[in-house]
Chain A
Amino acid sequence: MKYQVNFFVNEEPVELYVDANKTMLTVLREELDLTGAKEGCGAGECGACTVIMDGKPVNACLVLAPELDGKHITTVEGLADRKGNLSPLQEAFIKHAALQCGFCTPGFLMTATALLKENPHPTRDEIKAGISGNLCRCTGYKRIIEAIEDVAAHTEGGERK
C-alpha cells in the first residue's frame, strides 16, 4: 500500500505516494534526487542525514516516509538562494576549509544552520554542544567550529545582514 503525502521541500510543494517502510532519507534521496543528506549509520548517531523539519534539525533516517505529510523540510540543497548564492555558512565552510571528504558536511551545515537560527551568537562551547550529534571522521572539528564562529560573528542568525 502506498501513502499519499503532501509536503514542502525547500519551499517547493511535493505530492508523492510513498511506502510506509521507507524513511524520509530514502524518499529525499531516491524519489526526489536530493542526495545531499547522507546515510551514515541509519540509527541517529552520526547526523549525516540531518535535515530541518518544521524548523528543527532531525535525523531523516529516523522519520518514516508517511510522516512527511504536512511537513516543511529544508535540505542542504535549500540553503543557497534561488540565484545559487551560497549561504554565509556554506561560504564560511569553504573559506575555513571545514571539510575534507564532504560526507558529513550537509549534516553539519543543517545542524549549524538550525543552531544559529535558535542562538545567533553561540559561544564556542555552545557550538560544540550544538554539533555534537554530527560526526566527522576526517577534517576534525576545529575548522568546522571556526567556520560557525565566523558566521556567528558576522551575521544575525546565519542570515546576511
Chain B
Amino acid sequence: MKQFNYLAPKSLPEALAFLAEHGDSAVVFNGGTDVVVRLRDNLIAPEYVIDIKKIPGLDTITFDEKTGLTIGACVTMNEIGANEFVQKYYPYLGKAALSVGSKQVRNRATCIGNIVNASPLADTGTPLLANDAVILAEGPEGKREIPIREFFIFVRKTALKKDEIVTAIRVPYHAGSEGVYTKISRRREVDLSTVCATVVRDGDDWRIAFGSVAPTPLRLVKTEELLRGKKLDGALIEQAAELAKTEVAPIDDVRASKEYRVTIVGLIVKRSLEALAK
C-alpha cells in the first residue's frame, strides 16, 4: 500500500470543501471492503483517503409510503438485511444485501459503496435498478438526484462527479409490489455473482434487472414490455425467457462462459416469473 493522507471530516460541508479542492487525487472511503483491497493491490494510489463514516446522519434507514426507503450512505449490508422496513417491503433487497461477501465483510460493506463501485455484478445493483432507485448526491453546487439507470455508465464508471458524495439512495415504494432476487454463484457465501437478477412485479407491470451480463447492471426493457398488462401463462413465460436471452451481452470470464450466462438468464426469468405468477 502506498502512502496517503487519511482524513475523517466531521461534517458534509467539510468533506465537500475538501473534495472540491482535491477531488482528482482523493478517494471517498466508506466500509473499505473494496477500497482497502484496491489500495493494497496498488490498483489505486490516491493522495487522500476521505473517510465519510464520521459524518453524522449518514447511517440511518428511514421509510414512509410516500418517499419510500432511504438508505444512508454509511448503512452496512447487515443493517439493511436486518432492517424491519426492508424485511417487510423489500425482502429481495435484504436478500441481495445479505448475499454480499461474508458476515465480517457485511458488517463493514455498504450498499452505497456497492453502487458507487459500479461493478457489473454488484449484488445490490439489481434490486435497486428494478425499483428505479434514485441516487442522492451532494456537491459544491448543492444536491442532485440521479436516477439509477443514468448512474451506471460503464464498468466502475458512474455519473458521479469527482467533487460529489453520495449521501443516500432512495427506493420508491409501490404498495403491493413483490420481487424475487436470484444470485447464481459457485459457492453460497463469500463469492461474486456469476449472474444476479431481480424481477419485480408491480400489479401488471414487470421490472427486470440483471447483473454480470453486461458492462453495467441492466434492465431488460423489451422483456418488460412484452409482459406488461398481460396475463402470465406458460407460453408467455417461455417467450419472455427467450426474449430476455437476447437482451443481455455477457462475456466469458473465470466464473462462467458467455453461453452459460445466457442460458441462466432465461432460466432465472422463467423461475422468477413462475414464483411471482402465483
Contacts and interface: CB of A to CB of B under 8 A. Distances in A.
Contacts of A66: 6, 8, 51
Contact of A44 (B6, B49, B105): B105
Contacts, number: 83
A22 B6 CA distance: 11
Given A44-B105, A132-B189, A62 B6 contact: no
A101 interface: no
Given A1-B5, A21-B4, 7 more contacts: A23-B36, A58-B104, A58-B108, A59-B102, A62-B108, A64-B51, A133-B190
A133 B102 contact: yes
Interface of B: 1-6, 8, 29, 32-33, 36-37, 39-40, 49, 51, 53, 78, 101-105, 107-108, 188-190
A44 B32 CA distance: 10
B5 A59 contact: no
Given A20-B6, A20-B49, A133-B189, A64 B36 contact: yes
A57 B103 contact: yes
Contacts of B105: 44, 59, 62, 133
Interface of A: 1, 3, 19-23, 42-45, 47, 50, 53, 56-59, 61-64, 66-67, 111, 129-130, 132-134
B104 A20 contact: no
Most buried by A among B4, B5, B104, B190: B104
A58 B106 CA distance: 8
23 contacts: A20-B4, A20-B49, A21-B1, A21-B4, A44-B104, A50-B104, A56-B107, A58-B107, A59-B105, A62-B36, A63-B108, A64-B29, A64-B32, A64-B49, A64-B51, A66-B8, A67-B53, A111-B104, A132-B102, A132-B103, A133-B105, A133-B189, A134-B102
Given A21-B1, A62-B105, A45 B190 contact: yes
Given A3-B6, A130-B103, A62 B33 contact: yes
A21 B33 CA distance: 15
A59 B189 CA distance: 15
Most A C-beta atoms less than 10 A away, residue of B6, B29, B37, B101: B6
Contacts of B78: 56
A128 B39 CA distance: 31
Contacts of A56: 78, 107
A21 B36 contact: no
Contact of A43 (B2, B6, B37): B37
A44 B105 CA distance: 6
Contacts of A19: 3
B8 A129 contact: no
A49 B253 CA distance: 29
A1 B102 CA distance: 33
Contacts of B3: 19-21
A133 B53 CA distance: 24
**Which one of A19, A58, A59, A62 has the highest number of Cβ atoms from chain B below 10 Å of its Cβ?**
A62
Contacts of B33: 44, 59, 62
A45 B49 CA distance: 23
Contacts of B6: 3, 20, 64, 66
Contacts of B51: 64, 66-67
Nearest to A59: B104
Closest 8 CB pairs of A and B: A133-B102, A132-B189, A20-B6, A21-B1, A56-B107, A66-B6, A62-B36, A59-B104
B108 A111 contact: no
B183 to A, nearest CB: 14
B107 A57 contact: yes
A123 to B, nearest CB: 16
Contacts of B188: 132
A120 B255 CA distance: 37
